């Protein structure tokens, strides 16, 4: 699946906005370091787009934050990675 931060030269139909999120305090990022987090969240973003029948994601953006954890993390800092973009289908 093509993921780009810009537009594509191919003609496409916009399907929907897709999101992905991961936290080092829980879920699939629980045991990874920050350098491993982005590729894992990217794979989740691709999976979400594929589930909608998309061929590509345009305008992809990534962000992160460091936050105080809750629950099992006992107030330790956790990092969270967010990704979103527009799922598209080629015409």
The CA-CA-CA angle for residues 54, 59, 64, to 5°, reads: 105
> For residue 79, what pLDDT band results from cuts at 50, 70 and 90?
confident
User: 81 is in which domain, residue-wise?
Assistant: 2-90
Tally of domains in the chain: 1
Q: How far apart are CA 59 and CA 17, in angstroms?
A: 10
More confident of the two residues 8 and 28: 8
CB 73 within 8 A of CB 38: no
- For residue 43, the surrounding DSSP H or E stretch is helix 34-51
Q: What is the pTM of this model?
A: 0.82
Q: What is the CATH number of the domain that holds 47?
A: 3.30.110.70
For residue range 32-43, list pLDDT tens digits in order: 777 788 888 999
């Amino acid at each position: 699946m093509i993921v780009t931060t810009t537009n594509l030269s191919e003609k496409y139909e916009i399907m929907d906005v897709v999101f992905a999120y991961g936290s080092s305090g829980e879920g699939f990022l629980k045991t990874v370091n920050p350098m491993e987090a982005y590729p894992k969240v990217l794979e989740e973003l691709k999976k979400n787009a594929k589930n909608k029948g998309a061929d590509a994601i345009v305008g992809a953006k990534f962000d992160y934050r460091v936050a105080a954890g809750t629950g099992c993390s006992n107030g330790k800092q956790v990092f969270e990675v967010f990704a979103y973009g527009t799922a598209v289908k080629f015409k």
